[in-house]
Chain A
Amino acid sequence: MLRKYWKAATLLGVVLVSLLISQVEGSFNQYIFQIVIYAGINIILAVSLNLINGHTGQFSLGHAGFMAIGAYTAAVLTRDVVGSWGMWIGFPVALIGGGLMAAVAGVVVGIPSLRLRGDYLAIVTLGFGEIIRVIIQNLDFVGGARGFAAIPKLTDFFWVFAIVGLVMWSLSNLVKSTYGKGFLAVRDDEIAAEAMGINTTRYKVTAFVTGAFFAGLAGGLYAHYVTYITPTQFSFILSIEHVMMVIVGGMGSNVGVAFAAVLLTVLKELLKLVPDLLWFLPEWLLRILENRMLLFSILLVVIMILRPQGLFGEGDWVRRWWRKLTGRGRKAEATA
Chain B
Amino acid sequence: MGEFLQQLMNGLSLGSIYALIALGYTMVYGILRFINFAHGEVFMVGAFVGLWSAPAIADFFGGNLFIAGPVVILLAMVVCSILGVLNERIAYRPLRGKPTIIVLITAIGVSLFYQNFFQSVVGPEPRRFPDLIPQTRVLETDYLIVGSTPLVVIGTAFGLMWLLRFVVLHTKVGTAMRALSFNLQAARLMGINVDRVVAFTFVLGSALAAAAAILFASIYPSVHPLMGLFPGLKAFVAAVLGGIGNLPGAALGGLIIGVTETLVTGYVSATYRDAVAFTILILILLFRPTGLLGSTATEKV
When each residue 105-127 of chain B gets 1 if its CB lies under 8 Å from chain A and 0 otherwise, what string results?
11011111101110111000000
Decide if A297 touches B112 in the complex (CB within 8 Å): yes
Contact (Cβ within 8 A) B281 A304:
no
**How many residues on B have C-beta within 8 angstroms of the other chain's C-beta atoms?**
42
B285 at the interface (CB under 8 A from A): yes
Residue of A nearest to B283 (CB): A112
Cross-chain contact B120 with A291 (CB below 8 angstroms): yes
* CA–CA, A132 and B206, complex, Å: 31
In the complex, which residues of chain A have a beta carbon less than 8 angstroms from the beta carbon of B229? 236
- Asked whether A116 lies within 8 Å of B94 as measured between CB atoms, the reply is no
- Residue of A122, A240, A304 contacting most chain B CB atoms (<10 Å): A304
Cross-chain contact B281 with A123 (CB below 8 angstroms): yes
A126 to B230, CA, bound (A): 12
**A156 vs B202: C-alpha distance in the bound complex, in angstroms?**
51
Q: Does B272 contact A (CB under 8 A)?
A: yes
Would you list which residues of chain B between 87 and 115 have a CB under 8 Å from chain A?
Answer: 91, 94-95, 98, 100-102, 104-106, 108-113, 115
Residues of chain B lying within 8 A (CB to CB) of residue A301:
91, 106, 109-110, 113
Bound-complex Cα distance A117 to B277 (A):
20
Q: Given A118-B100, A130-B274, A134-B275, A305 and B282 touching (CB < 8 A)?
A: no
Contact B35 A123 (CB under 8 A): yes
Please tell me if A72 contacts chain B, counting CB pairs below 8 Å: no
**Is B66 on the interface with A (CB-CB < 8 A)?**
no
Q: B-facing mask of A81-107, CB < 8 A → 1, else 0? A: 000000000000000000000000000
A168 at the interface (CB under 8 A from B): no
A127 touches which of B35, B111, B115, B281 (Cβ 8 Å): B281
Q: Complex formed: what's the CA distance from A123 to B95 in Å?
A: 21
Q: Name the contact of A59 in the complex, choosing from B104, B106, B112, B286 (C-beta under 8 A).
A: B104
Closest to B229 in A: A236
Proximity bits, A138-154, B CB within 8 Å = 1, else 0? 10000001000000000
Chain A interface, >50% SS class: helix
Contact B282 A127 (CB under 8 A): yes
Q: Are A137 and B109 in contact (CB under 8 A)?
A: no
Contact with A along B266-294 (1 / 0, CB 8 A): 00010110110111011001100100000
* B interface: dominant SS: helix
Interface contact B120-A137, CB-CB below 8 Å: no
Contact B100 A300 (CB under 8 A): no
Given contacts A130-B274, A134-B274, contact A120 B285 (CB under 8 A): yes
Nearest residue (CB) in B for A302 is B109
B110 to chain A, nearest CB (A): 6
- B48 adjacent to chain A (CB < 8 Å): no
Q: Once the chains are docked, how many angstroms separate the CA of A297 from the CA of B117? A: 10
In Å, the complex CA distance between A118 and B286 comes to 15
Residues of chain B contacted by A116 (CB below 8 angstroms): 285, 289
Question: Across the interface, which residues of A come within 8 angstroms of B272, CB to CB?
Answer: 134, 138
Instruction: Judge whether A191 is part of the interface by a CB distance below 8 angstroms.
Output: no
Indicate if the CB atoms of A115 and B289 lie closer than 8 Å.
yes
A308/B112 in contact, CB under 8 A: no
Quick check: is B200 within 8 A (CB to CB) of the other chain? no
A123 vs B237: C-alpha distance when bound (angstroms): 9
Please tell me if B236 contacts chain A, counting CB pairs below 8 Å.
Answer: yes
Closest to A308 in B: B102
Chain A, 107-137, contact with B by CB distance < 8 Å: what is the 0/1 string? Answer: 0000010011111101110111011001101
Contact of B233 with A by CB under 8 A: yes
Could you list 20 further interchain pairs (A-B, Cβ under 8 angstroms) beyond the known A145-B271, A243-B108, A293-B115?
Answer: A59-B104, A115-B286, A123-B35, A123-B233, A127-B281, A131-B279, A134-B271, A134-B272, A134-B274, A137-B271, A284-B121, A288-B117, A288-B120, A291-B116, A293-B112, A294-B113, A297-B112, A301-B109, A304-B106, A304-B109
- Residues of B with Cβ closer than 8 Å to A? 34-35, 91, 94-95, 98, 100-102, 104-106, 108-113, 115-117, 119-121, 229, 233, 236-237, 240, 269, 271-272, 274-275, 277-279, 281-282, 285-286, 289
Chain A contacts to B: CB under 8 angstroms: 57, 59, 112, 115-120, 122-124, 126-128, 130-131, 134-135, 137-138, 145, 236, 240, 243, 247, 284, 287-288, 290-291, 293-294, 296-298, 300-301, 304-305, 308
A-B contact pairs, 15 of them (CB 8 A): A59-B101, A116-B285, A117-B100, A123-B281, A127-B281, A130-B278, A145-B271, A240-B108, A247-B105, A293-B112, A294-B112, A301-B106, A304-B106, A305-B94, A308-B102
